[in-house]
Amino acid sequence: MNEKIIAILFSSGKAVSVKMLAKLLEASASDIPAVLDRLVKEYNTKSSALYVLVHDGSVQLVSNPAYAELVSQVSKEEVSGELTRPQLETLAIICYRAPVTKPEIEQIRGVNCSLIIRNLLMRGLIEERDDMAKLQPVYTASIDFLRHLGIGAITKLPDYTHFHADERIGKLLTEASVPEV
């Protein structure tokens, strides 16, 4: 039971209500608090990696506060330093072809880009918004990033018109709108 709860909390990534836990475990909600008590006693030790937080009828898995400094170092590493070549390419596609969807970016790069897009978002280089026509999020360069590049508008990028309207890429993107099988 304990291990099942940890697996649920881990994959959910957010606080899970006691009611929901009971439902998932096919147990009675009234039994859960006692189970959680034991779990907390077992998990939340001075040196354990993860803590079980019970608060206001919800449970969440977090890292042990003792490692707070290490953990903040992890997120700092993720958004610092130079861009890798795949990151730079993805950013270039978003700058020249915006507004562009993830499947479209992937058609051009020929590689899955989920993690890269997420990282560019976290660094504030790009922005995400919902597109009514494409029915999925589209990405554009952020204002902060344009300012950083020292250009007033994205169209001021070198070769903008040429790259933005390239016919062969346009044709490739038409196919990206076909849903994946």
Partner 1 sequence: MSFEAKLDAFSGPLQILLELIENKELEITNVSLAKVTDDYLVYLEKQDVPSEELADFLTIAARLILIKSHALLPEIKLEEDADALASQLKLYKEFVTAAEHLERIYGEGRISFARGRTPAVTEEIIFAPPSNVSIQSLQIAFLYLMKRLEPFFALRQVSMQKVVSVQERIKHIHEALKARAMMTFRDITAGAQSKLDVVVSFLALLELTKQRLVKVVQGVAFGEIELKRVD
Residues near its own copies, by CB under 8 A: 2-8, 10-14, 16, 20, 23-24, 47-50, 61, 63-64, 67, 70-71, 73-78, 81-82, 106-107, 110-112, 114-115, 118, 121-124, 128, 180-181
Q: Which two tokens stand for residue 161?
A: 């018109």
Q: Which two tokens stand for residue 179?
A: 């849903």
Select from its own copies, partner 1, none the partner in contact with residue 17, using the beta carbon and a kind-dependent cut-off of 5 to 8 Å: none
- Residue 139, helix vs strand vs coil: strand
Q: How far apart are the first and last CA of the chain?
A: 37
Indicate whether 13 belongs to the interface with partner 1 (CB under 8 A): yes
> Which one of 89, 99, 131, 134 is in contact with partner 1 (CB under 8 A)?
89
Among the residue ranges 24-32, 35-43, 152-160, the one whose residues contact partner 1 (CB under 8 A): 152-160
Q: Is 110 left (phi over 0), alpha (psi -120 to 50) or beta?
A: left
65 touches partner 1 (CB under 8 A): yes
Q: What is the CA radius of gyration of the chain?
A: 23
